[in-house]
Chains A and B, each alone.
Chain A
């Protein structure tokens, strides 16, 4: 998951992200951004996420752990 941070930063429309950044604190955080994260997870990691799971992940680090935990 070496490019995870860079990919998430691009989706969140910032230069870089930290693991404890709260997802909902980003200016662009909305349902379309959640869909972008779902698409990234499916295409790059073959992990299917729901909108509820993404919301419950709370932080960038939480999201990374969620995806890692669902990778086969």
Chain B
């Protein structure tokens, strides 16, 4: 007789995913839907959200939102949840890169990167723990940082600041929210084939793709490689995992 044993299932769970209109966010939405989750897909790009929803196997709704406008996050999520149902977790994928050498870095751009990559994560977590949003039982929050939150690289000071800060937030919230049975973890991806990587690559010379590949013993990744790790952290298979920074980087940081 075939066993129904599957601790990785996401059946009966609702999640909110930011950055769901493209790249890692889209791949994550598709994988979670295939694992049975129902989804609120959030992004500033409504057209991209509609495309992602068409790829999903389970119920999914779109939430157009500018996450760099922290003051709007709570109300928009409250409204979406009141129509959709309470959540078992959130995934903050949305983010922007800012490649600029130190002498070109400006406070304005640093704040812009920080507000989306970092402060939105805090505001999302704050909204999630509200009794009108959190479904109770077991909760899981997953942030997406970067290998550049772990190791250094030139011309990356603002992005590195925003991503390494997520590691501190992850560990602090893991402790603070354990009592509510909410786990908080972070995935630190290496380079994966997305539009963000393409636009960054255009700033460098023609050997950049080869250079990037050499940084990853397993080669550059696919968005799905990150999505699978997120699915694990959201599932009950990870019920004893909290405060972890999971490097999913094809061996980038193993060197």
Which residues of A line the B interface, CB within 8 A?
A: 10-11, 31-36, 38-40, 43, 48, 50-52, 55
Q: Please name all residues of chain B whose beta carbon is closer than 8 Å to the beta carbon of A38 when the two chains form the complex.
A: 99, 203
Interface flags, B180-214, vs A, CB<8A=1, else 0: 00000000000000000000001111100000000
A35 and B205 form a contact (CB under 8 A): no
Question: Which of A40, A48, A52 touches B104 (beta carbons < 8 Å)?
Answer: A40
Q: Please name all residues of chain B whose beta carbon is closer than 8 Å to the beta carbon of A33 when the two chains form the complex.
A: 101
Which residues of B line the A interface, CB within 8 A?
A: 99-101, 103-104, 106, 109, 154-155, 202-206
B101 and A43 form a contact (CB under 8 A): no
A43 and B109 form a contact (CB under 8 A): yes
B100 and A36 form a contact (CB under 8 A): yes
Question: Which of A10, A35, A48, A55 touches B101 (beta carbons < 8 Å)?
Answer: A35
B220 to chain A minimum Cβ distance, whole angstroms, is 19
Given A32-B154, A35-B155, verify A11-B205 contact (CB < 8 Å).
no
A39 and B99 form a contact (CB under 8 A): yes
Q: Please name all residues of chain B whose beta carbon is closer than 8 Å to the beta carbon of A32 when the two chains form the complex.
A: 101, 154-155
